[in-house]
């Protein structure tokens, strides 16, 4: 891009930003005056019950022009009669990408188009590491999303998340630029109340999850697990890293007897552990309570190899749609509401690299489990007991 085009782009961006800021200031000033008049008459505007600045309808309306074009590439995804996610059109002949874990197993998704049409969708491909699914609907002449570059986005830049309506579903700023992340960098959501408990601290090992700590009198202790054992298999599930081990144990219940295969000093051993009941963790419960103060969180909000982070107050059922810059270009796909002040998106470059494979159907949930090469943490830290 030559100097003239760069200057023109900067002037265009600045002009658009000035208009948005002017709209925000004007709308909020008018809102304040209206609130004062209503209070003097003992009236309350329902919009003013929204206390969050970024959630105020007048704030959202200031971004209508920004999302006008990209909203034509957004659909609503429904399962069992409920809104579960947004979808982003990535192919004119019926290709739509969405958030995989929000879909209901065994239920064909329904896609609601911007024009109101409802179409039955088929799940063609799944990329579990990024929690993305490719849907196919029988239609033509859709408008694919226009991609931008997440790498060009600057921390503090204004962003918007278009929905199927005139206004964005959320607005905010880029908090952390696109980056590769390790599994535990994003933490783990609390386990279900009825999840089984093995009683180990974990680290990454060669070809599996390394046991870094064994809790006294825990299921792991009674089963004979030792520090530095590398767990490679639990109940027929290959353990390729600490992430898969954590998720595997969480899928079992107290009292379940699970076979465990480990490597110990070069020898393969078969053990069996009867899982116990997870002890209470007041600190974890307190952190989760604080995280939920902003809004409901996504069930799947960790384990992504790459993310960009923004501060939009995004409902979980509004994940799967694009996050756009002020030019209306998608710099990522919203993938999780992760905390009180954080939401995650998969960078545009990562999504675009997956589209062809997702369309081909060769990617499935079973073939795209998280890998240690993308999530391997520093070897000196340990995960909480599982």
Q: What is the CATH number of the domain that holds 218?
A: 2.30.42.10
Q: Verify that 49 and 110 share a domain, yes or no.
A: no
Which pLDDT score is estimated for 282?
A: 53
Q: Can you give the residue range of the structural domain that contains 224? A: 192-277
What average pLDDT does range 249-273 have in this prediction? Answer: 94
Residue the block writes with tokens 């989760």: 288
> Which one of 33-42, 178-187, 342-351 scores highest in mean pLDDT?
342-351
**Residue 131 belongs to domain with CATH number:** 2.40.10.120
Is residue 267 situated within a structural domain? Answer: yes
Higher pLDDT: 143 or 36? It is 143
Report residue 217 as tokens: 């009198």
Give the list of residues 6+ apart from residue 247 with CB closer than 8 angstroms, or none. Answer: none
For residue 35, is pLDDT > 60? no
Non-local CB neighbours of 140 within 8 Å, separated by 6+ positions = 92, 93, 94
% of residues, the chain, pLDDT over 70: 74
Asked whether residue 118 is assigned to any structural domain, the reply reads yes
Domain identity same for 304 and 167: yes
Chain mean pLDDT for the chain: 82
225-252 pLDDT, tens digit each:
999 999 999 998 899 888 789 888 988 9
Give the residue among 305, 302, 319, 229 at the shortest CA–CA distance from 268: 229
Claim to verify: residue 162 and residue 252 sit in the same structural domain: no
For residues 347, 138, 314, 310, the Cα torsion angle rounded to the nearest 10 degrees is 10
Least confident segment among 85-89, 139-143, 288-292: 288-292
Confidence at 323, pLDDT banded by 50, 70, 90: very high
Examine the fold and report which residue of 230, 247, 277 is the final residue of a domain before the chain moves on.
277
Region 337-360: mean pLDDT is 95
Q: pLDDT at position 168, please?
A: 97
Looking at 113-127, 200-214, 313-327, 342-356, which range is the least confident one?
200-214
Domain presence at residue 18? yes
Q: Average pLDDT for residues 190-216, to the nearest whole number? A: 88
Quote the Cα angle for 23-331-147, to 5°: 105
Contacting residues for 154 by C-beta, under 8 A, at least 6 apart: 174, 177
């Amino acid at each position: 891009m030559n100097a003239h085009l760069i200057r023109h782009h900067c002037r265009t961006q600045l002009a658009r930003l000035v208009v948005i800021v002017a709209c925000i200031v004007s709308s909020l000033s008018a809102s304040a005056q209206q609130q004062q008049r209503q209070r003097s008459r003992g009236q309350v505007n329902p919009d003013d019950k929204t206390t969050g600045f970024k959630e105020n309808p007048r704030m959202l309306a200031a971004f209508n022009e920004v999302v006008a074009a990209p909203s034509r590439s957004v659909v609503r995804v429904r399962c069992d009669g409920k809104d579960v996610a947004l979808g982003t059109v990535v192919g004119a002949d019926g290709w739509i990408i969405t958030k995989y874990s929000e879909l209901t197993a065994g239920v064909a998704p329904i896609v609601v188009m911007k024009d109101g049409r409802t179409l039955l969708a088929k799940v063609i491909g799944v990329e579990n590491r990024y929690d993305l699914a490719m849907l196919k609907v029988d239609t033509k002449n859709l408008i694919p999303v226009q991609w931008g570059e997440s790498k060009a986005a600057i921390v503090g830049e204004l962003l918007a998340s278009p929905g199927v309506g005139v206004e964005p579903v959320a607005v905010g700023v880029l908090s952390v630029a696109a980056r590769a992340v390790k599994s535990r960098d994003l933490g783990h959501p609390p386990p279900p109340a009825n999840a089984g408990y093995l009683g180990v601290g974990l680290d990454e090992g060669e070809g599996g999850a390394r046991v870094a700590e064994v809790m006294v009198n825990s299921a792991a202790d009674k089963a004979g697990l030792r520090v530095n054992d590398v767990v490679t298999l639990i109940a027929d599930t290959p353990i390729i890293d600490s992430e898969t081990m954590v998720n595997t144990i969480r899928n079992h219940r107290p009292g379940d007897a699970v076979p465990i295969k480990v490597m110990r000093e070069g020898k393969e051993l078969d053990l069996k552990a009867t899982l116990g009941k997870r002890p209470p963790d007041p600190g974890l419960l307190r952190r989760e309570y604080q995280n939920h103060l902003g809004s409901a969180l996504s069930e799947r909000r960790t384990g992504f190899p790459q993310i960009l982070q923004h501060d939009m107050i995004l409902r979980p059922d509004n994940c799967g749609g694009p996050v756009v810059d002020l030019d209306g270009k998608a710099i990522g796909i919203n993938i999780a509401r992760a905390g009180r002040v954080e939401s995650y998106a998969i960078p545009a470059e990562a999504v675009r690299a997956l589209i062809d494979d997702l369309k081909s159907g060769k990617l499935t949930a079973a073939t795209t489990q998280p890998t240690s090469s993308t999530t391997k943490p520093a070897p000196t830290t340990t995960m909480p007991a599982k």
